[in-house]
Homo-oligomer: A and B are copies of this chain.
């Protein structure tokens, strides 16, 4: 897993350097990309941290880049930078899930704070997505029959009822049930229910 980085995407080298310097003096690791195309080409699903994205760039704009990232289910927070933004643009990007939208010239401290908060947000999301992925992986290991049985178990039904509904014997249900617990890494139906319905907040 690659380290958390602030990915700076801007076609102006002076800005890239300035941002990199600014972030590094605050102990935030950064990596730069000279264009949206370059970033999208080098983008890996295991990237994490955040993205600082200039809107006005030659060729592909930051807005278009953002749309591509959305299609790719990018989960990193995106912070837009722009010198010529307008209200509808800001509203639209934020409603699409952008983390923030800053106008140039921006305050150095404000930017660093936003970047740090974005990276913290990503770290939290990352952690929760990993446990989600683990659960999904375990679910995938269940055979179709085991998944059926699991659903009925989660519905709170007795083994006897499950056996009737599936037209199999109770003993078979017990075997499936046991395998489900084993493969899902739990030791009771209660733990299973909690694993598949994690807390809100």
Q: Which residues of B contact A190 (CB under 8 A)?
A: 153-154, 156, 189-190, 192-193
In A76-119, the 8 Å CB interface with B consists of 85-88, 90-91, 94-95, 100-103
A39 to B103, alpha carbons, bound, how many Å? 33
Q: Cβ of A45 < 8 Å from any Cβ of B?
A: no
Among A131-189, those with CB < 8 Å from B are 153-154, 156, 186-189
A72 within 8 A of B: no
| Chain B residues with CB under 8 A of A85 | 87
A124 at the interface (CB under 8 A from B): no
* A87 contact from B86, B187, B192, B198, Cβ within 8 A: B86
B88 A91 Cβ-Cβ under 8 A: no
Copies of this protein, total: 2
Shortest A198–chain B CB gap in Å is: 6
Residue on B with the closest CB to A201? B200
Interface residue A14 (Cβ < 8 Å from any Cβ of B): no
Whether A91 and B95, one on each chain, are in contact in the complex, defined by CB atoms closer than 8 angstroms, is no
**Closest residue of B by beta carbon distance from A80:** B91
Judge whether A42 is part of the interface by a CB distance below 8 angstroms.
no
A58–B198 alpha-carbon span in the complex (Å): 47
A197 touches B (CB below 8 Å): yes
A-B contact pairs, 21 of them (CB 8 A): A85-B87, A86-B87, A87-B90, A88-B103, A90-B90, A90-B91, A91-B94, A91-B102, A94-B94, A95-B100, A154-B190, A156-B186, A156-B187, A156-B188, A188-B189, A190-B192, A190-B193, A194-B197, A197-B198, A197-B199, A197-B200
Not counting A188-B189, A193-B193, a sample of 9 additional A-B residue pairs whose C-beta atoms are within 8 angstroms of each other reads A87-B87, A87-B103, A91-B100, A95-B100, A156-B186, A156-B187, A189-B189, A197-B199, A200-B200
Q: Which 9 A-B pairs have the closest CB atoms?
A: A193-B193, A197-B197, A94-B94, A156-B188, A189-B190, A156-B190, A156-B191, A87-B90, A91-B101
